[in-house]
Amino acid sequence: MGWMTNTDSDVTYDDTSWCVPRKLKKVLNRLTDRFGPVTISSTKRWWLENWWKGGARNSYHLKCQAVDFRVGGSPYEVIAFLKAQPEVGGYKHYSSGFYHIDTGPRRTW
């Protein structure tokens, strides 16, 4: 999967990452440059999986337009970085340590 990652750092993708939009992959590669390795936990979800995980009915995961991941660094710095990325619409840091980004309208919750 070398074509999905940059040459300086590592992004570990899950089995459904083939459908992640290029613009979100670029953001993930920039994250690795700044904060170190990124591990993807969720990209494309089928409706039943999304329901089981408590996802929104209109979740961007259903369209493979969202990524949940872990990365090192302080949550404040990572969120500030994500907020500054023009490709990112929605963004969130969960208490579980995961981050979410998507291609939807600019928002957080």
Place of tokens 């979800």: 45
Q: What is the pTM of this model?
A: 0.84
The number of residues making up the chain comes to: 109
How confident is the model over 45-65, as pLDDT tens digits?
999 998 998 889 999 999 999
pLDDT in tens, 84-95: 999 999 999 999
Q: What is the dihedral of CA 40, 96, 65, 27, to 10 degrees?
A: -60
Domains of the chain: 2-102 (3.30.1380.10)
**For the chain, what percentages of helix, strand and coil (3-state, to nearest 5) are there?**
35, 20, 45
Distance CA 69, CA 13 (A): 9
pLDDT band at 36 (very low <50, low <70, confident <90, very high): very high
pLDDT at 6 over 60: no
